[in-house]
Structure 1
Amino acid sequence: MTTTSTAGRATAVAARASELSKIYGQGETRVVALDRVSVDFRQAEFTAIMGPSGSGKSTLMHCVAGLDTFSSGSVRIGDTELGSLKDKQLTKLRRDKIGFIFQAFNLLPTLTAQENITLPMDIAGRKPDAVWLDQVIQMVGLSSRLSHRPSQLSGGQQQRVAVARALAAKPEIIFGDEPTGNLDSRSGAEVLGFLRNSVRELGQTVVMVTHDPVAAAYADRVVFLADGRIVDEIHHPTADSVLDLMRSLPGSGNTSGTVPHQTAGFDGKGRTS
């Protein structure tokens, strides 16, 4: 697999899955969720993972992010092999090297936006880099909302807090599991724009699971799964190119020929208008 970025520059690998398999059950109830998947996620690149329901896309992300165990194969974050880590070591690696953005935001209701952003570092006993933290907060547009609690914020603002929390600790890689799934189109476009900017301006690495071709078009590349295997990928995706490929995948069930929803302010080429 190539190690050149979409801009043509050689880049290091932030995370790698090699011959990764995940099997549930035995005998007649045996289900192969991942079937010998090998994929690299390169530094300073935005990758979307797509596939029909049950294709293994969320399982792949959870295994690579250290949130789920795998049956065979290997996963590396940077130079660290996840399979060799004990529980405490894995917890520390997730805390120090990985950022997460979840569809349900996962903010603590009793904490302010600022306190939610710095919470992982507070738990780890680390002081945030003040300059970096300010840069992140400015980028996601939260400077005037830092003293507000989640109940005082809109859904889009809560997800901005979740994005800032994932970025604040300078993780090696950020994983997003349908990070715009609970947002309206305009708020979703804002969050995707922040993730796009974090890659372009801050050099972050982002891996996002999504079902939405419009969201996927913000990425540098899209990796497609079907039946637990990687079946294709697109570089420089557009919503239309993603949708066309999705319709051809086994189990997609999408023959309508239409994009599921159009994100406000989006030009269909991975850029905001």
Structure 2
Amino acid sequence: MNTPDPATVIASARGLVKTYGRGDTAVHALAGIDVDFERGKLTATMGPSGSGKSTLMHCMAGLDRPTDGTVVVDGEAVSAMPERRLTKLRRDRLGFVFQAFNLVPTLTALENITLPLDIARRPVDRDHLDAVVRAVGLQDRLSHKPGELSGGQQQRVACARALVTRPAVVFADEPTGNLDSTSARDVLGFLRRSVDELGQSVVMVTHDPTAASYADRVLFLADGRIVDELREPTPERVLERLGALTRRVEDAAQQTVAASAGLEVR
């Protein structure tokens, strides 16, 4: 697997391990991952259910503590950071977009977008705010509350909220999972433009080959390890890689079952 130039890396992990439980019931969600995410790029992570893709993103974003290994984001050692500093880092320098929109229903779209700045008591950069609002196409919806917006519009508000603080990196976990195909295209198009026009760095977890095709680079996980990557993806190439990966995982599972039963798989 090709490693990006260190000068272009916005976030990295070395020897990243995440284990849930102990003893015979332990689940190894991440099994010693080394990875670099490139600055000013959109990286998608994919893999079968239980492959560790969301756990990887949560550890990178400081939402979950790794069992072992190091995580560095924009020069900060996230994995070793005390909770108070970690909270400040997440608030001031990281952006988040989740499958659930997580908007405050009593606030307008504009108030939801500027909420992180208001909480941090930071002034609003009107030029940057206007650029983000134009990028998401919400100029005529800023006075509307979430209940008056479509699902796609609500997710675009969430995307704008993630970008208004000028974060070092945006972490997006299945950002189109609750959207119809048209709304999903709108949100993915915005994330793509945030990279191309605003210089943003985005790490996205997705199960959708079409969503992954918006990325510069796709990482494939299986059993808590990065097993493949693809640059300049298309939906067809992503689907082909996923199919091969799924077959590999199924074959490995059959080998394990057969070995435990004392059989030989040919």
Matches within 5 A, 1:177-256: 177-250=173-246
Residue pair 1:11, 1:42 contacting (<8 A) in 2 also = no
Q: Is the CA contact 1:199–1:205 (under 8 Å) kept in the aligned structure 2?
A: yes
Larger helix proportion, structure 1 or 2?
Answer: 2
Distance 1:158 1:252 in 2: 38
| Residues 61-102 of structure 1, C-alpha deviations (whole Å, 9 max, x = no match) | 000000001100000011110122111100000111100001
- Corresponding position of 1:145: 141
Alpha-carbon distance in 1 for matches of 2:95, 2:156: 14
* Aligned counterpart, 1:136: 132
- 3-state SS in 2 of match to 1:123: helix
Distance between the aligned counterparts of 1:128 and 1:37, measured in 2?
38
What does residue 47 of structure 1 align with? 43
**Letter in structure 1 aligned against 2:32:** R
| 1:196-242: CA deviation from partner (whole Å, max 9, x where unpaired) | 00000100000000000010000000000000000000000011111
**Is contact 2:19-2:30 (8 Å) kept?**
yes
Mapped pair 1:24 → 2:25: no
C-alpha separation in 2, matches of 1:205 and 1:41: 9
Match of 1:90 in 2: 86
Distance 2:228 2:41 in 1: 18
Structure 2 match to 1:2: 3
8 A Cα contact 1:246 1:252, kept in partner: no
Q: Give the distance between the partners of 2:152 and 2:246, measured in 1 at CA.
A: 34
- For residue 61 of structure 1, what is the aligned residue in structure 2? 57
The Cα of 1:191 is off from its aligned counterpart by 0.3
Counterpart of 2:3 in structure 1: which amino acid? T
Percent identity of the aligned residues? Answer: 59
Question: What is the alpha-carbon distance in structure 2 between the residues aligned to residue 249 and residue 12 of structure 1?
Answer: 28
Q: Deviations over 1:175-196 (max 9, x none)?
A: 0000000000000001000000
Paired residues of 1:53 and 1:252 also in contact (CA < 8 A): no
1:170 is aligned to 2:162: no
Unaligned runs of 5+ in 1: 5-9, 255-273
- SS of the counterpart of 1:244? helix
Q: Normalising to structure 1: TM-score of the pair?
A: 0.89
- Determine the C-alpha separation between the residues in 2 that align with 1:49 and 1:250: 15
> What is the CA–CA distance in structure 1 between the aligned matches of 2:12 and 2:121, rounded to whole Å?
29
Using structure 2 for the length normalisation, give the TM-score: 0.91
Name structure 2 gaps, 5 residues minimum: 251-266
Q: Deviations over 1:127-146 (max 9, x none)?
A: 12110110000110011100
Looking at structure 2, the residues matched to 126 and 61 of structure 1 have their Cα atoms a distance apart, in angstroms, of: 27
Task: State whether structure 2 residue 66 is matched by structure 1 residue 108.
Answer: no
Determine if contact 1:247/1:253 at 8 Å carries over to the other structure.
Answer: no
3-state SS of 2:139 partner: coil
- Verify the 8 A CA contact 1:51 1:252 in the aligned structure 2: no
Q: Which runs of 4+ in 1 moved over 2 A?
A: 1-4, 250-254
Counterpart contact for 2:109–2:144, Cα < 8 Å: yes
Aligned CA RMSD, in angstroms, stands at: 1.4
Secondary structure at 1:144 match in 2: helix
